[in-house]
Structure 1
């Protein structure tokens, strides 16, 4: 991306005009003014015409968002559902896989998102076992080790592609090759991937993939994407149903034959209008261009951090994402986040609960996290690095 393109992006983003330096895009990024306008326009339409009456136009906007999501993921629009959060989307798909039986095995990467592990507890209570795929020498989930674990009892392979606690990029496509070869259901948590790097569900060979709208997509909070491979839909029996997901027919209530079987009749058309605009913007910008900018920016920050005494980086893997996990000697991660916030510099901080298996395996109690976007500039990097140097003690 050229400096002029970055400037245009920033000029179209109110948060970039506020004087705050935002390096917490993995928590929630900054929406554009056009995304805010799309939300407000639908709210005004509801206030003017009546909320139910404005639903007709709202439904049109939702379908535009669905097509834009399909374009971004290289998926048919009919394979996309919307939810209120990434965790909700993943949990609905997981619960629809049941019923779970004693002895069933669920294989996960060591870096699994804590919310997904929490959702697995009902399966564990039914007698299923959650087992960890061994890591390779770089710390990534190992496809070869995974294949050696497989037997008839394995009912699911689940991978958090880009973990919340660092720059690791797990080999999602190689894991997908193993899953498809053995015809085992394969779920991907792409919460930190969608909107940051190219995501092609056909190449990944996944059955289910989810992501939040508020992170790298720059959409509003309270939105998420759920992809279901069309051929896999018949294996998912959602427990939550209503007149939208299971409409009445002459034969009775019948589940929809597309991903909308995971949606409900009550949604926020305003929020999904905003998400649709954010999806349109990233498709227009080009995800390859976004990814190259993220790689360049995060590489500069990593190099600068290595020059600061007392900072330890916690990257795993061979290629790193725009999530930079670190600790500063003498500082609690959450206190560091708060202190930088008082200087109008936003970063993130995660505890063990976010990625419990990996944090415990590496003896980490918390990490501070810088996460970048194409919106970030060299001047912002200098402000961040200067602040950290002043705090190193």
Structure 2
């Protein structure tokens, strides 16, 4: 086994004793410190009001920028908090100047939410969205990317880990290639932060969006955006309020010169404190230790499922992580999900609409998605495999 103390992790996650929870890629189970951070602040707001309660935690809220700077490999002033990964991604993309003839490149595993925004803005600006082919393993083909890159490419939108499978895209190689032509790289790290080491400085990305509710085990309604300083100089934020800017004269506004220009005045203070607690919890466990534990559990589940007649594991990529996707011959994915739920196992379904380019390319309408975190025991992995075997049989 790996360096994670399984007994302690499970003690901090009481719900994992009642069910085999394999949906951390959807919305994970928060550990006790996160739950306590959220509920205690909500109680305090009820006692003295939201403004005073927030003022009491001003130092802790400010320290959150340092926690995420440590977690994500950037400076504290390159961190902004939002209410979701989608909000982070959209805010960054909306600030990118676009004009006629500009090009936007995506991978074939681009998330539908990102793709919708890309296509809408491209249509408005007279720009074009183009998909970079995958290589034989299913990850983005870096050689094909280099063939597509030129001085008209403004952005490479890269999903680190897709929502519909366990592959890990080659981020650093993509960033190096994109920067040769002056393009920015926006990394959707929604499915990687919290299960893998994700450092903006080591990966070389310009912008990074992520969420709290998945592998990081934070509350819903929380997100983070990293904006590296060099990239910030090229962005023109439009969705700005009096947190991101100052109305300093009747006819003049001054924007902040750091990532917090993307923050809004109103937010859930309790949820943000929970998010910060989740980052501290992950840092205390050790990101590398978490990655080893998650990868180990996913590999055990993947191998167990692959050995079952009538079950096809659908994961791609040279490097694989904590997401395991599969189909059962003759059994719709929704029926597999529901049957496993009835047996005490929590999984979900990833439909073609979430990653239409990749799923269409592979002829898949849906897959069952399982995502074991470090608090899942080996015996629980065996339980899941046994229940799938019963369904397949």
TM-score w.r.t. the length of structure 1 is 0.96
Q: How far off its partner does 1:152 sit?
A: 2.1
SS in 2 for 1:103: coil
CA-to-aligned-CA distance 1:77-96 (integer Å, 9 cap, x gap): 11111111111110111011
Instruction: Tell me if the contact between 2:102 and 2:127 (Cα under 8 Å) persists in the aligned partners.
Output: yes
Q: Tell me which residue corresponds to 1:149.
A: 148
Q: How does 1:45-56 map to 2 (within 5 A)?
A: 45-56=44-55
Q: Tell me which residue corresponds to 2:25.
A: 26
Q: Tell me which residue corresponds to 2:380.
A: 380
SS in 2 for 1:165: coil
SS in 1 for 2:363: coil
- Shift in CA distance, 3/189, structure 1 to aligned 2, threshold 3 Å: closer
Q: In the comparison of the two structures, how many residue pairs are matched?
A: 391
Instruction: Tell me if the contact between 1:24 and 1:346 (Cα under 8 Å) persists in the aligned partners.
Output: yes
Instruction: Tell me if the contact between 2:108 and 2:132 (Cα under 8 Å) persists in the aligned partners.
Output: yes
Structure 1 portions without partners, runs of 5+: none
Q: Tell me which residue corresponds to 1:117.
A: 115
Runs of 4+ in 1 over 3 A off after TM superposition: 1-4, 248-252
Q: Tell me which residue corresponds to 1:189.
A: 188
TM-score w.r.t. the length of structure 2 is 0.96
Match of 2:102 among 98, 101, 104: 104
Instruction: Tell me if the contact between 2:4 and 2:374 (Cα under 8 Å) persists in the aligned partners.
Output: no
Q: Tell me which residue corresponds to 1:264.
A: 264
Instruction: Tell me if the contact between 1:43 and 1:270 (Cα under 8 Å) persists in the aligned partners.
Output: yes
CA-to-aligned-CA distance 1:294-353 (integer Å, 9 cap, x gap): 111111111111111110111211121110111001111122111211222101211111
SS in 1 for 2:178: helix
In the alignment, the residues of structure 1 paired with residue 88 and residue 335 of structure 2 have an alpha-carbon distance, to the nearest angstrom, of 32
In the alignment, the residues of structure 1 paired with residue 144 and residue 330 of structure 2 have an alpha-carbon distance, to the nearest angstrom, of 38
Q: Tell me which residue corresponds to 2:92.
A: 93
Q: Tell me which residue corresponds to 1:357.
A: 357
In the alignment, the residues of structure 2 paired with residue 288 and residue 333 of structure 1 have an alpha-carbon distance, to the nearest angstrom, of 32
Q: Tell me which residue corresponds to 1:78.
A: 77
Q: Tell me which residue corresponds to 1:138.
A: 137
SS in 1 for 2:99: coil
Instruction: Tell me if the contact between 1:61 and 1:272 (Cα under 8 Å) persists in the aligned partners.
Output: no
Instruction: Tell me if the contact between 1:42 and 1:58 (Cα under 8 Å) persists in the aligned partners.
Output: no
In the alignment, the residues of structure 1 paired with residue 166 and residue 5 of structure 2 have an alpha-carbon distance, to the nearest angstrom, of 26
Structure 2 portions without partners, runs of 5+: none
SS in 1 for 2:304: helix
SS in 2 for 1:337: helix
* Residue 205 (structure 2) pairs with residue 206 (structure 1): yes
Q: How far off its partner does 1:292 sit?
A: 0.7
- Shift in CA distance, 229/4, structure 1 to aligned 2, threshold 3 Å: closer
Which stretch has the larger CA shift, 208-217 or 299-308?
299-308
Q: How does 1:291-330 map to 2 (within 5 A)?
A: 291-330=291-330
Which stretch has the larger CA shift, 265-274 or 178-187?
178-187
Instruction: Tell me if the contact between 1:310 and 1:392 (Cα under 8 Å) persists in the aligned partners.
Output: yes
Q: How does 1:28-43 map to 2 (within 5 A)?
A: 28-43=27-42
In the alignment, the residues of structure 2 paired with residue 153 and residue 4 of structure 1 have an alpha-carbon distance, to the nearest angstrom, of 47
Q: Tell me which residue corresponds to 2:16.
A: 16
Instruction: Tell me if the contact between 2:4 and 2:290 (Cα under 8 Å) persists in the aligned partners.
Output: no
In the alignment, the residues of structure 2 paired with residue 59 and residue 116 of structure 1 have an alpha-carbon distance, to the nearest angstrom, of 33
SS in 1 for 2:29: coil
In the alignment, the residues of structure 1 paired with residue 359 and residue 62 of structure 2 have an alpha-carbon distance, to the nearest angstrom, of 40
